[in-house]
Structure 1
Amino acid sequence: MLIKLFEDNPNQRDILKITAVLKRGGVIIYPTDTVYAMGCAINQVKAVQRVCALKGVKPEKADFSMICRDLSEIALYAKVSNEVFKIMKRHLPGPFTFILNATTKLPNVLMNRRKTIGVRIPDNYIVRAIVEELGHPLLTTSIHDDDEIVEYMTDPELIHERYCKSVDLVIDGGFGQNVASTVVDCTGDEISVLRQGIGEL
């Protein structure tokens, strides 16, 4: 299924349809403020395992991120110091992934060996409306292209063509970017940029 949504005013009926798919354990593809991503509700174990299978990784080895609706939801699943909170408050919503130490509230299926989790609040109203309606964070992982020059798939119709048999739903929110988020590691004593993407810290 392909659903077209406009970022400045996503149709609420469609948002409800999408969250119903997620609550049933569905896997979806959606736009963010950077690249298109694949994901599912973090509390749906079988859906998380499906995403892992599609990405060709074992759950315990996967370095997944999740999209939260706000900073207080991030603090449920990850340890946030005052310094990190101030930095996130300045930069979110925005094209950043912050790597944080996980709390015990994080579902076991998402807990990697380092007990860390990436967190995002994208500056994209479609995905934020979905997370808000869902009531849980969304596991998120970027959609890569097989092309050697272009790293990410940007055309939602081509994404749908390629993934329509393996995911439950693709959201067309217009063309995506071809540069990912900036990844910021906040798990050690020093805050460091692991990957420079669109966001400038």
Structure 2
Amino acid sequence: MKVINGTKLFSLDDKNAILECSNILAKGGLVAFPTETVYGLGANALDAEAVNKIFTAKGRPADNPLIVHIASLSQLNELVLEVSNQVKLLSDRFWPGPLTLVLEKKDIVPDITTGGLNTVAVRLPDHKVALDLLNECQLPIAAPSANLSGRPSPTMAQHVTIDLAGRIEAIIDGGQTGIGVESTVVSLVEDTPTLLRPGGITYEELTEVLDEVEIDPTVKAKVGSEDKAALAPGMKYKHYSPEAEVILVEGEAEKIAHKITELTDDYLAQGHKVGIMATEENSNFYEEGQIQIMGSRNRLSAISANLFRLLRSFDESEVDIILIEGVSDQGLGLAIMNRLRKAAGYQVVKV
């Protein structure tokens, strides 16, 4: 175990890591831990004071609801008013896994955990460290991404350390996460299930289980008022942003490459330091700027896994403009494009 600015950093070789971190959670402290999606910042979901520490550590707006992580379906019954047939169908197919369900909550769940809503977002993660921790502490754990609010989500313990060391009690280093974008969020509160946030479970996979699934308008574009309540994490505020300005270019692959080359030349002529997030297929088009290859258009899982790590890497190279290639919004691409549009603050060039 290492200590960085007062925060304990446990490796998987630390035999007491799970027990010590479980004790921290039981005492109302904060622990960052890996999941199959990104690293989460955990607190006892039923302890309002502990949950409030999450908002303080992250600088997170208090009306942005948290996801509650559970270790078993029996815990779900303790948190929500009804486990419907739709819940059973989705949990049978996708749990453990990167799917979060929004359901009407019981009074046992504090309002601070749900952003003041009468619903709670719950998921059962598919990661050994997360499940070991949940089973050891026997508590539902509220855990948004373990980063400063608005920054790219952390997919490595190093990212958590940069953002939160000195602000939280402990971090468990479980290596790089697999999926790289947060869980899919589906609301089952209304008559028709609604996709509130795309993630590791695709829209197409959801429709294989449910007869009908609506897509919330905010999934593909910035829609509505800042005064409107956020029904799920990540719906209301700017997210996933590195320090540099981000511009997303969408369209056909070849046209994207030509536009990014044109924009790069313009920004370099103005004295800017330019970074480019390129797909493998287009990377040879670019001769200027700092190029990071995010993966192949034919393998979106690789792009998903690399996304936040590459956005953070540009902070280290101190570029001030990042130009990013858009991809198809089918399958996992819907989640990738949702994150990129938010990282760009919806500053999108279409070609």
TM-score for the superposition, normalised by structure 1: 0.87
Counterpart of 2:162 in structure 1 is: 161
Q: CA deviation at 1:146?
A: 8.1
CA displacement, residues 96-125 of structure 1 (integer Å, 9 cap, x when unaligned): 111111112223442433311110111001
8 Å CA contact 2:30, 2:54 repeated in 1: yes
Percent of aligned pairs sharing the same letter: 27
SS of equivalent to 1:3: strand
Counterpart of 1:143 in structure 2 is: 146
Q: CA deviation at 1:15?
A: 1.1
Within-5 A mapping of 1:39-188: 39-57=42-60, 59=62, 61-78=63-80, 79-144=82-147, 151-176=152-177, 177-188=179-190
Counterpart of 1:34 in structure 2 is: 37
SS of equivalent to 1:21: helix
Counterpart of 1:3 in structure 2 is: 10
Q: CA deviation at 1:147?
A: 8.9
Aligned AA (2:79)? Y
Q: CA deviation at 1:139?
A: 0.6
State the Cα RMSD in Å: 2.2
SS of equivalent to 2:88: helix
* Gap runs ≥5 in structure 1: none
SS of equivalent to 1:132: helix
Residues 81 and 96 of structure 1: CA distance in aligned 2, closer, same or farther (over 3 Å): same
Residues 44 and 121 of structure 1: CA distance in aligned 2, closer, same or farther (over 3 Å): same
CA displacement, residues 15-53 of structure 1 (integer Å, 9 cap, x when unaligned): 111111111111011111101111111233322111112
Aligned residues: 194
Following the alignment from structure 2 to structure 1, what is the Cα–Cα distance between the partners of residues 106 and 113?
Answer: 11
8 Å CA contact 1:29, 1:171 repeated in 2: yes
8 Å CA contact 1:36, 1:153 repeated in 2: yes
SS of equivalent to 1:100: strand
TM-score for the superposition, normalised by structure 2: 0.51
- Larger RCO, structure (CA 8 Å, separation 6 or more): 1
Following the alignment from structure 1 to structure 2, what is the Cα–Cα distance between the partners of residues 72 and 181?
Answer: 21
Residues 108 and 94 of structure 1: CA distance in aligned 2, closer, same or farther (over 3 Å): same
Q: Does 1:16 align with 2:33?
A: no
Counterpart of 1:199 in structure 2 is: 201
CA displacement, residues 73-103 of structure 1 (integer Å, 9 cap, x when unaligned): 1121013212222221221000111111111
8 Å CA contact 1:145, 1:153 repeated in 2: no
8 Å CA contact 2:147, 2:160 repeated in 1: no
* Gap runs ≥5 in structure 2: 1-7, 207-351
